[in-house]
Every structure is written in C-alpha cells, then in structure tokens.
Amino acid sequence: MKAIILAAGYATRMYPLTKNFPKPLLEVGGKTIIDHLMAKVERVSAIDGVYIVTNHRFYDRFINWADQANYRKEVKIIDDRTTSNEDRLGAIADLYYVIENEKLAEDLLVMAGDNLFDFEITAMVDYYWEKGTDIITTHEINDIDRLRRTGVIQIDAHGKVLDFEEKPVSPKSNLAVPPFYIYQKDTAVNLIKEYLDGGNNPDAPGNFIPWLIKRRPVHAFRFEGERYDIGALESYYQVKDLFEKRLK
C-alpha cells in the first residue's frame, strides 16, 4: 500500500498567511501539520511509500522539509506543475496525476494535507482488510452548520455507504465524512481515470464518492474523537491554540 497526501492547494482563504507558504507546513502543537500526518502514517506497517503532491509554487518548500525530515518510510514530493489557484488541477485530478506519473498499481491511502484527527490510521487499515472494499471515514457531528460544510452519508447496519451528499442544505444524518480514504488497486488505477474522463468535478476529493458508490460497494470506517479541518485563519488559530494547550 502507498499513501498519497494531497497538498497542492493554494489556501486562498488563509491569505496573507499562506500567500507564499503552504498550509500543510504551518506549525501546530510544535510541529507541522504534515508531520502530524506522517507520524500516523509511520505506524502503518502495510504502507511502504508516501507521495506528497504539491504545486510548483510550493514545491521547493516541501523539498526543503523532506530533506530535513527523518522518517522510516520513503517520502517523495510530486510537483503538479500548477502555479496559481486559477490553474490548479483539483484534488482528484492531483490524485490521478500521482497515480499516472508514478505508475502506481496498488492499494492507496489518500489523505488531505490540511486535516488533523484523533484516530489511528492503523485501525482504519484493519477495517479495510476486514471489509475488502474501498473505505471512507466517518464520525458523528451534531452541529447542523458544521454538517452543511462537509460531506454527509447514510450507512446500513454493516457500515456500507448508501448515500453521500457534499455540503447538504438539509443533512440526512449526523455522519460527516472527512477526506481520508483507502482505495483498492482497481479503483485507484481505473475508476478515478474513468471518473475524470467523464468530465466530472476534479476538485474536492469527496466529489468522487457519490459516483463511486453507484458502481461498487464502499464501507465507512466510523471513528471516535475529533478531526480538525484547517480551512480558514480562524480555524487554524483555534486548532493551534488547542494543540498548544495539550502540550502543557
């Protein structure tokens, strides 16, 4: 299994902080967001390589980070060749850019580079082996405004995903979907390409899920605890403050 961390966005909602600096390399609780993610990935024995896809503007920043990092797993930085928010590929297109250019042909753990979370990826991978299908993640949110800003699913008694809506006005459940997925080899190599070739939205990674569940079974790994979506300056400073308090 390989891991792909999506870090090619331009974080325009966090300007001026991220105008010339990538959001995943911002510091939270004494280390960068990407280092928090890598610490979780390091504990998954099945993962033998990590690809971090970024844009051309921030490529050197990530190369400098990687040169100073000291992880057991091989880490490779991928430049998607875009230079602005206007010519960005979008998260799903970035994902396939890595798959195609690196000739990947195995199961993939896919993660957004701007979300932190309390659960262990090892538990998610165990659930993946148990179910034998593509896997998304979910947790309960009982704040209607937060649910309206994320993907929301309905599942059956066995965790199979029955319905997915991105940012619904009237959420059908309290099960939110963070951007953490495990895709089987065939999904990664063939179905993502089919999705993009069909002219579907290449941007937010959650857009792929409603298309996918119509074609094959997908299960939701349900986790306890919180996840932290660092999407704006306010949320960044809130998360930063929270993690700093944990260190005390």
For the stretch 73-82, pLDDT in tens is: 999 999 999 9
Q: Where are the domains of the chain?
A: 2-247
For the stretch 180-213, pLDDT in tens is: 999 999 999 999 999 999 999 998 888 999 999 9
Mean pLDDT of 31-60: 97
Look at residue 248 and tell me whether its pLDDT is greater than 80.
no
Give, as one character, the DSSP assignment of residue 167: S
Nearest by Cα to 132 from 193, 187, 206: 187
Give, as one character, the DSSP assignment of residue 87: G
Q: Which amino acid is at 67?
A: D
Strand, coil or helix: 134: strand
Q: Does the 2-247 domain belong in CATH 3.30.360.10?
A: no
Q: Which pLDDT score is estimated for 69?
A: 93
For the stretch 63-100, pLDDT in tens is: 999 999 999 999 999 999 999 999 999 999 999 999 99
Q: Which pLDDT score is estimated for 247?
A: 77
